[in-house]
A and B are shown apart, each in its own frame.
Chain A
Amino acid sequence: QVQLVQSGAEVKKPGASVKVSCKASGFTFTNYRIAWLRQAPGQGLEWMGWITTYNGNTRYAQKFQGRVTMTTDTSTTTAYMELRSLRSDDTAVYYCARKATLIDNWFDPWGQGTQVIVSS
């Protein structure tokens, strides 16, 4: 079945970086974009950006420009999201999700989420 499985929880200090992975299976990885989103505790969903898996092109939300890097490894059908210069307000659950098509912007399915805690 179509599935995205993410890496485990992380605890980081302010100023550090975190890299979250998202292993895809059950579909042709290079036919889709992989998006990254996050949800702070008790808050709503926030889109961070996406990567076009077949060529590595990225589109980042303005808020994260300069601080986020999304990459893929097509040989292992895995997407990665690295966030740098972490702050306490980066504490959130981070999700990867498959973007419907190149044109359509809905996301399905989603990974199970990766908890990232930023604390000194």
Chain B
Amino acid sequence: QSVLTQPPSVSGAPGQRVTISCTGISSNSGATFDVHWYQQLPGKAPKLLIYGDSNRPSGVPDRFSGTKSDTSASLAITGLQAEDEADYYCQSSDSSLSVVFGGGTKVTVL
């Protein structure tokens, strides 16, 4: 059972907006740990999508955005495209500063 909780699946039609939640983020000294997001295409290694809650690495389309509020974070995909069909994972830290992941969310483009 994963420390961070994600919905197993979300779906949307091309062009629509979908969001993936990630709950259970731990805190340290009053501030919650950063959340990062990865995209894993079928049969491929994970790829960094969002780091530090809301930052996009170079080359990641601005259709992808991340937010965090209290102990929850969200990944939004706007203008959903067929190529976005993949598994998405959130990642953070726990109170012992170990790395923890959500269980993953499968995004299906209808």
Using a CB–CB cutoff of 8 Å, the interface residues on chain A facing chain B are 35, 44-47, 61-62, 95, 97, 100, 104-113
Contact = CB atoms under 8 A, between A and B. Distances in A.
Contacts of A111: 45
B74 interface: no
A118 to B, nearest CB: 21
Contacts, number: 57
B101 A44 contact: yes
Q: Find the residue from A46, A62, A107, A111 having the highest chain B CB count within 10 A.
A: A107
B57 interface: yes
A108 B48 CA distance: 6
A110 B100 contact: no
Interface of B: 2, 34, 36, 38, 45-48, 51-52, 57, 89, 91-93, 98-104
Given A47-B99, A105-B91, 8 more contacts: A44-B89, A45-B101, A46-B101, A61-B98, A106-B34, A106-B36, A106-B52, A108-B47
15 contacts: A44-B101, A44-B104, A45-B46, A45-B104, A47-B99, A47-B101, A97-B46, A104-B52, A105-B34, A106-B34, A106-B36, A106-B91, A107-B36, A108-B57, A109-B47
A30 B99 CA distance: 21
Contacts of B104: 44-45
B34 A95 contact: no
B52 to A, nearest CB: 7
Given A44-B101, A45-B104, A47-B100, A106 B48 contact: yes
A100 B45 contact: no
Nearest to A61: B98
